A and B are shown apart, each in its own frame.
Chain A
């Protein structure tokens, strides 16, 4: 399925510790101990087409990491390779390494289902299941574990509270999820993702279908939960990246022979404040100052 080299888990843990993440300029070296996920030379192919070339970055506790960049630069592709959602696209192939707490996500020790349970995902368009509000949140816990009714009630309430939706829906948990507004549906999807108790939360342009007020609520929510769940967010909106994120990865496209399908690449990865105030790369500067993309 993939061409990842698969060294043993132990050697990977050792190498991830020795390399650490301290070599990223401007990032304090204490961050290395907080790292939950790390991508090294991560490339994604669709068939023969190289969609994104050799991205290297890390995701740490207590941080929101934003992926920004113009359309087609591979932000979402990279995000989806962080929890093996790309497995569902038959032609997709991942080269390079993604480590989650030292374990190779594409190695023999990682089961795709367990990977996705631990690394949750919220999608661009709110995608509640055609079920009640309660059943949407309870779906994940039900398929993953055995719960008693009262335990499940607790998990549902807890998740909805974390997603700041409980007060709005507590009296109509049996109502269809489609009766909620777009912003509420997206918070329901966040609650649904939190209900399986993930370790990391990936968000693929979670606000692109929402109005500014709903967007603001999601952003507040992200700040509230980031201490418990490291978040990676793909966004088209630079202001959003600047508002919510601690770290930013700027992706761009490099021109190849085929101009219709340019290959994406990670241009710069740094602390958000540094990225937006004094970027190192010319392309980053043009993008964050609004001259490109």
Chain B
């Protein structure tokens, strides 16, 4: 992993149609390119398995639950806790009135889920990013970009050729500082 600390060569293939791009990724995977390291950029979401790339499962909903739990406790603290901090009787009703505590707690729980889900999305998708990293602007115009990071010239040439053979409209190299692969 730490062999080439300085930079890594990425082969970028830009495809005009999805079948060709899909085929290219599967062929690359067959010839030993890591499924985890390849990246595919698209303008619309494709079903899982359309490309040979492997994506990580999303754990966002677990953080949503965490947010919900946090919201619940916050709601309890506000609705029941603050009433106990400064008890003022109103309307002959109890200081901690559970039905109203329920309403407030419910809203805080939902707010917690909403905020944590958003934060989890940003965290897991590594957004917002200051620099777009390796990006192909024609993706938003309907192209599909396949990015293959390669160690060593030999592999790079192989990848280049495979992309071209699969029908890429454009293939070029881009060097990026070597960080973790998935941060591309």
A binds B: no
Interface residues of chain B, those whose CB is within 8 Å of chain A, are none
Interface residues of chain A, those whose CB is within 8 Å of chain B, are none
